[in-house]
Amino acid sequence: FEVYREDYAEIEESKQMTLELCDGVELPATSLSAQDSADVMRFWILAPCQPLRMSPSIQGFVESSCAWCLARVDEKGLEFNGLARTSRESSWNMLETNAAALAAIVHGKLELTEKFPGWLPNPHSTLAKVSVTAHEHVAHKPPVVYSVHAGLECGIIMSSVPGLEAISIGPLVEAPHTTQERVSIATV
């Protein structure tokens, strides 16, 4: 714990941890076996929770990522839920293959549910250029144009209409999906 405290001192408040061994205490029915506990530890050690591929053409833009964000234990067993995102449709196979391999290593079963279609940003599209010109005309200054790594409706709509161009316009959101999330009112 002291190593973690030192490694994260710049971003985490100093806390303390205590560990108490409780011999002879009856464990709840949902307690994990030693094998299941070892599998959980393997899962957390190996599970990607980070950007997995950066864009080769847009500096600083995350193309693919995976985040394992929820664990639940009940009578049926242990369940982990994750969220994978990619802007590049061809990356889904890699993400799914990695998740299947992880499930096999921890003696689990993989169930794939919803996925957003990929949407690669195209800052040189006709729509993007027209939008920049329109913003300059109205605001008398160029817009701030950037790409974000998010599951947006644009990918869903574009997958239904081949050749469709799209842009997304929205406010500046800082620290999204955290307790520190905030939005810049001036950008709304």
For the stretch 63-91, pLDDT in tens is: 999 988 778 887 777 888 888 988 888 88
Higher pLDDT, 17 or 3: 3
Alpha carbon distance 106, 84 (integer Å): 19
Mean pLDDT of 13-18: 79
pTM: 0.69
Confidence bin at 51 (pLDDT 50/70/90): very high
Confidence bin at 153 (pLDDT 50/70/90): confident
- Per-residue burial over 2-32, b if 16 or more Cβ lie within 10 Å, else e, is eeeeeeeeeeeeeeeeeeeeeeeeeeeeeee
Q: What is the pLDDT of residue 164?
A: 92
Alpha carbon distance 116, 60 (integer Å): 21
Alpha carbon distance 147, 57 (integer Å): 12
CB-based contacts of 156: which residues, under 8 Å, 6+ apart?
116, 117
Task: State the residue for tokens 């971003």.
Answer: 11
Report how far apart, in Å, the C-alpha atoms of 60 and of each of 50, 63, 88 are: 14, 9, 15
* DSSP code for 121: -
Asked if residue 54 has pLDDT above 90, the reply is: yes
Return the H-helix or E-strand segment holding 6: helix 2-7
Higher pLDDT, 14 or 104: 104
Task: State the residue for tokens 């999906």.
Answer: 177
Q: What is the pLDDT of residue 151?
A: 67
CA-CA-CA-CA torsion for 92, 97, 100, 101, nearest 10 degrees?
-150
In this structure, the number of other CB atoms found within 10 A of the CB of residue 119 comes to 23
